Chain A
Amino acid sequence: MQQLLQQLINGITIGAFYALVALGYTMVYGVLKLINFAHGGLFMWGAYVGLTGLNVLLVLLAGGGAVAIFPTAVIVMVTIAMVGVLVERVAYRPLRSAGRLAPIISALGVAFILESLARNVYGASYKTYPTGLIPVGRVEILQGVRVSLMQAIVLIVSFLLMAALYLFVYRTRIGTAMRAVALDHEVSRLMGIDVDRIIATVFLIGPGLGGLAGMIVALYYGSFDFTLGWIFGLKAFISAILGGIGNIPGAMLGGMILGIIETLGAGYVSPQWKDVIAYVILILILIFRPTGLLGERVAEKL
């Protein structure tokens, strides 16, 4: 029982990462109906930019410790968001009317570029984050069930971000415009919405969150390499589908579920097979409920 609870807490933490990255996939898919294969690369670059930012700041502040994390996080979000907008502008916008295959290839191309750049700039070896930034304290919330300070921070930050995003999308004018664009570009344009700007906004928010997630993931695990993007990206995309692609609460739910299942699978079945479990769940979900858990059924107009 204790072990189960402990696993659940670990699972939710990992799920929070997946959810943050999944939001980027789901939002882009919502407005462009495109699987943004470059998102995993942007996420990975979040980790690298965070690493550089932290190292530079630590030198500048002469070892400011945890204080350095917040400005770094801001730098990461801004940088990656800008890269995201750039990617959209250069690689996706010219292809908006070019069928469905061309944007996929373009997205894969961007993913290649991002991965190869990271490998060349930072090298192929594992990178480690400066240690000791966040105290390793643990709180025992129940007999034998502990939450580390790191986990608590991760959970709080991700939930705050997700709540903010939810409010943004469902309570503000831009958010409403975003949902309109997701439904129909043409009609939105007729209603006076600047579709290009809304799509650019989506590419600002999605990669921003993804980049931050990359930095948090790297902080949480301590080390990573340039392959981080593919694996995490794929898992995050699974989360997005699990919850119902294009659906923001769905991405959060999907991330949590995937994180929990994966941790439980690793704990009770076999750590080697945990990825297989994740994929099999994805396949089963798509076979039996292609719209995901929270997705609405879309009747095709005939």
Chain B
Amino acid sequence: MALLAIRNLTKRFGGLTAVDYVSFSVNEGEILGLIGPNGAGKTTIFNLITGIYTPTEGEIYFNGHRIAHPPLGSRRLVTPIWWLQWLPVRSVRERWNDLRILRPHEITELGIARTFQTIRLFKNMTVLENVMAGVHHRTRAGVWGALFRPPAQREEERFTVAEAEQYIRFMGLSEYRDELAKNLPYGHQRRLEIARALAARPRLLILDEPAAGLNEQETMELMDLIRQIRDSGITILLIEHDMKVVMGICERIVVLDYGKKIAEGTPEEVQRDPRVIQAYLGEEEA
């Protein structure tokens, strides 16, 4: 069954079409690789899935929810009617929920977490605090809890720390628990990003070039970790340039070039596809 379904997804920036009528699905429990030459629109698709961009056309469904769709006419026209959501009329509220564009944090709450191509850690916070960010949306304490520290809030804080520590251990970062994120070696920073994303307990984990900048050894360890994550029941969608990684762990691969999907299939099928060869050779010649 498709956990994530992308239908005719299109994103234009002014005159540039970054993503051009792309459709594909990610099945529950698989590792799907998204590859393509630089500028093929891979990261744009990630940003569309996680709600950082809104599509120009097309839709994305996750686990039965429509998580992305083009704005109605223009976003600016929609904005002034936000108060409709508070109208005590059920049909109006439902219509509003249907029309409005989900914000990135709502998509995370539905069960998608990601890492970034350029590492985006909270650099001046500790490893522990970074991973605690993932637990944020699973906890509730607000101003009241912060000021009066009722038992429920203390319990929640303990839970947050325990959860975070669990993922820190899983990614093998225990000894760096109280180190500032930016003082970690590069490879560990990549792992920390994954730990942070995992702490959000996603059903779908999106990894944007997780092996970029890693050495041979670290890459092997990473591949192992990704398989372990998948085996724990998390579906994985990843962008990667390192073909060893892609061919080694992905069960299916989607190939993009100039914003269009040019191939989809198992690693073997994709490797034989003449259009894929063309796209990659073409890049090397240039």
Contact = CB atoms under 8 A, between A and B. Distances in A.
A302 B13 contact: no
A200 to B, nearest CB: 32
Contact of A302 (B47, B76, B79): B47
B189 interface: no
B220 interface: no
Contacts of A299: 13
A299 B53 CA distance: 10
B116 interface: yes
Contacts of B235: none
Interface in A287-302: 288, 297, 299, 302
B57 to A, nearest CB: 18
Contacts of B47: 302
Contacts of B14: 297
Nearest to B50: A302
Interface residues of B, number: 10
Nearest to B52: A302
B43 interface: yes
Interface residues of A, number: 4
Nearest to B208: A302
Interface string B101-134: 0000000000000001110000000000000000
A297 B53 CA distance: 14
A288 B116 CA distance: 29
- Among A288, A297, A302, residue most surrounded by chain B Cβ atoms (within 10 Å): A302
A299 B18 CA distance: 13
A90 B52 CA distance: 40
B262 to A, nearest CB: 24
A288 B76 contact: yes
Nearest to A297: B14
Interface string B6-50: 000000011000000000000000000000000000010001000
B182 to A, nearest CB: 15
Nearest to B14: A297
A288 B75 CA distance: 10
Nearest to A287: B79
Nearest to A299: B13
Interface string A212-256: 000000000000000000000000000000000000000000000
B33 to A, nearest CB: 20
A288 B14 CA distance: 19
Contacts of B117: 302
Interface in B173-209: none
A302 B52 CA distance: 9
Contacts of B79: 288
Interface in B72-116: 76, 79, 116
Contacts of A302: 43, 47, 52, 116-118
A125 B251 CA distance: 80
A292 to B, nearest CB: 15
Nearest to B47: A302
B80 to A, nearest CB: 10
Nearest to A301: B118
Interface string B48-67: 00001000000000000000
10 contacts: A288-B76, A288-B79, A297-B14, A299-B13, A302-B43, A302-B47, A302-B52, A302-B116, A302-B117, A302-B118
Closest 10 CB pairs of A and B: A302-B47, A288-B76, A299-B13, A302-B52, A302-B116, A302-B43, A302-B117, A302-B118, A297-B14, A288-B79
Given A297-B14, A302-B47, 8 more contacts: A288-B76, A288-B79, A299-B13, A302-B43, A302-B52, A302-B116, A302-B117, A302-B118
Interface of A: 288, 297, 299, 302
